[in-house]
Structure formats: C-alpha cells, structure tokens
Amino acid sequence: MTHVLINGPPGTGKCKILEDVSKEFDNVVWVTTLSSAYFVRKRIGREDVWIIDTYTWGKKNSEDSRDIIVSNPLNLNEVSLAINKVLDGLDGSYLLIMNSISGLLIYHTYQRILHFLRTLLVRVEKEKSNSIFTLVKDAHEKSVEVSISMFFPNIVETKEDGKVRIIKSSVPLDKSDFDSNEAKEIIKRMLKESL
C-alpha cells in the first residue's frame, strides 16, 4: 500500500497517467473534482470503475449506477461521506484516484483539505490499498503544495516538455527524469510492489 502525488501544470499529462495506470487495477474508485463523471467514464472507457463526481453541481441522479454525484462540494463532509460509502462497499484492496486536490482547494482552506487528506490516506493504508492524487502545480501558494506533499511517499512531477520527474520514490531508481511511458511503468511498480 502506498500513495502517489502527481503534481504538474495543466495539460502536462496527469490525467493520461491516471487513465493508463488505473487499467492495471480491478477495484478503482475515481474522485473527480475538475470534470463530470460522464466525461471521466467516457475517457477511461470502463464500466466497472466507481466515479465520485464533485464537479457536477446540483444534480442528484446519474446515468450510471456506479456514478455518485456530490450535489454540494462546498460541504466537505458530503464529499467524505460519498467516498466512504463507496469504499465501505468494496471487497479487497482498491486503487483510489483523486483528480484533483486543486478542485477542492478552490472551496476549502488548505487546513481543512490537509485534515480530509490525512483521514482518507489513513483509511487507504488500513485497508492495504493504494491511492494516486493530482495537484495543479503553481495554482496554490508554495507552502500549501509543500504541506500536501509531506503526506506522500511518492511524488511525481509532470513537465510542459512532456518529461516526468520522480521527486520522491518508495522504489529505488537510478535516475529521476523519464519520458511519460517510463514514468507510468515506475508508478505501476510503486503501487504493485507496495501490495
């Protein structure tokens, strides 16, 4: 069990990494704060993934039974309850994906988000599962990014030139800069070797 933070500017491949890595896991729970459940499901092309949508405001029902719409993302308790409801119903280990922490930081103080993250990460660890979170680089104060990154044993940074830098890793590496395909394989290794 481990946690990975993928940090990078918009449009640098964070979502593509999530999509590709998620294919390696059976039990996937995807929390989306920046796009609708419909959009995410269309992108990943999987019906067996649970999607918790904090982006689509006010809508109570979804087209798919595995799509949970959080009608009010301003209420962080409602977001937590939706995630916990899905996790409570899963058998075995899972991969929790949150794209993106930045979507919640729009509405909440970073102290509340740190508490929310810590609680969620502790649960994932207790259940011997894995998680991947994304954060939009330079969208927040540097101290916020540093505080969030302290929770993660693995930190990956996507760059505008298409390269990926592994800032911190739970698996031994002989270098730190990779192309996106190499980085995806390393992230998969981080997650699988921790099980």
Which sequence spans correspond to the domains of the chain?
3-193
pLDDT at 147: 97
Q: What is the mean pLDDT of each run of 10 residues along the chain (195 residues)?
A: 97 97 97 96 96 85 87 92 98 98 95 98 98 97 96 98 96 94 96 83
pLDDT at 111: 97
What's the rounded Cα separation, in Å, for the pair 146 and 167?
12
Kindly report the CATH class assigned to 3-193. alpha beta
pLDDT at 172: 93
pLDDT at 59: 66
pLDDT at 60: 65
Question: Quick one: DSSP state of residue 106?
Answer: T
What's the rounded Cα separation, in Å, for the pair 178 and 163?
6
pLDDT at 144: 97
pLDDT at 71: 86
